[in-house]
């Protein structure tokens, strides 16, 4: 199935550009997610404006991702713990400057994650035949797949961050399964221009963040979790 693989560089241009980390552009402070476990502001993980075919959001929508990065180690990997967030905002509701995070009265602002800008996308086949798509959303059926279909690239980092296609699960398979289908996934480490690599965030050392979309809801509902 067709997937889209981003290439990154250190830093990003100002404005509403696709990127990981840094500060979100124009996000109203009232929408900045607060961790339900520790009560402090989460760290900004990604801003991804709608772009076809790589990021097929609603027209004019921007997807924002956040996760708790405090040393208290809230359950940011869990689907429903309230320690991560995935949501869209219409571009018309965004401001014209980067948004500083809310500061905790005792601990100050959350960590700002390394800013990694998306410079281009590579479109490629993820190795999954369309007829086997449903098996990638079933824990038992997934482990019955031949290895060259279940993990055709031996988890090479350049294939683990992508949008579209089927989930490229970690070696532990589909540990969590929200409604809907894969929208995108982000590996703990990503490749940069020139062959260097960069750590994205705390994904439990070697995890992958998966963002699902449930298109049966109106508007569509996005969710995020991290598997190792």
Structural domain containing residue 201: 2-227
Token match 């997937």: residue? 3
pLDDT tens, position by position, 135-157: 999 999 999 999 999 999 988 98
Assign residue 42 the CATH number of its domain.
Answer: 2.30.320
pLDDT band at 56 (very low <50, low <70, confident <90, very high): very high
Which residue, 169, 41, 167, is CA-closest to 106?
Answer: 41
Q: What is the distance, to the nearest Å, from the Cα of residue 35 to the centroid of all Cα atoms in its chain?
A: 17
Cα–Cα distance measured from residue 228 to residue 208, given in angstroms and rounded to the nearest whole number: 6
pLDDT tens, position by position, 92-129: 999 999 999 999 999 999 999 999 999 999 999 999 99
The pLDDT assigned to 104 comes to 95
pTM exceeds 0.85 for this model: yes
Cα–Cα distance measured from residue 168 to residue 40, given in angstroms and rounded to the nearest whole number: 31
In the chain, the number of structural domains is: 1
pLDDT band at 73 (very low <50, low <70, confident <90, very high): confident
pLDDT tens, position by position, 174-198: 889 999 999 999 999 999 998 899 9
């Amino acid at each position: 199935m067709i997937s889209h693989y981003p290439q990154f560089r250190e830093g990003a241009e100002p404005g509403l550009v696709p990127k990981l980390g840094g500060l979100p552009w124009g996000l109203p402070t009232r929408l900045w997610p607060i961790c339900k476990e520790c009560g402090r502001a989460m760290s900004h993980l990604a801003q991804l404006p709608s772009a076809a075919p790589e990021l097929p959001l609603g027209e004019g929508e921007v997807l924002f991702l956040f996760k708790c990065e405090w040393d208290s180690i809230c359950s940011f990997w869990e689907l429903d713990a309230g320690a991560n967030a995935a949501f869209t905002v219409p571009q018309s509701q965004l401001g014209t400057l980067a948004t500083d995070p809310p500061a905790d009265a005792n601990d100050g602002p959350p960590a700002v994650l390394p800013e990694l800008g998306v410079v281009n996308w590579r479109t490629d086949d993820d190795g999954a035949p369309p007829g086997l798509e449903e098996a990638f959303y079933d824990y038992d059926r997934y482990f019955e797949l031949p290895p060259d279909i279940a993990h055709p690239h031996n988890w090479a980092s350049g294939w683990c961050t992508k949008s579209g296609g089927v989930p490229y699960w970690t070696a532990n398979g589909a540990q969590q399964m929200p409604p809907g289908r894969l929208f995108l996934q982000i590996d703990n480490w990503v490749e940069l221009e020139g062959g260097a690599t960069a750590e994205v965030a705390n994904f439990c050392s070697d995890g992958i963040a998966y963002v699902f979309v449930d298109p049966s809801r109106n508007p569509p509902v996005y969710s995020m979790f991290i598997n190792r």
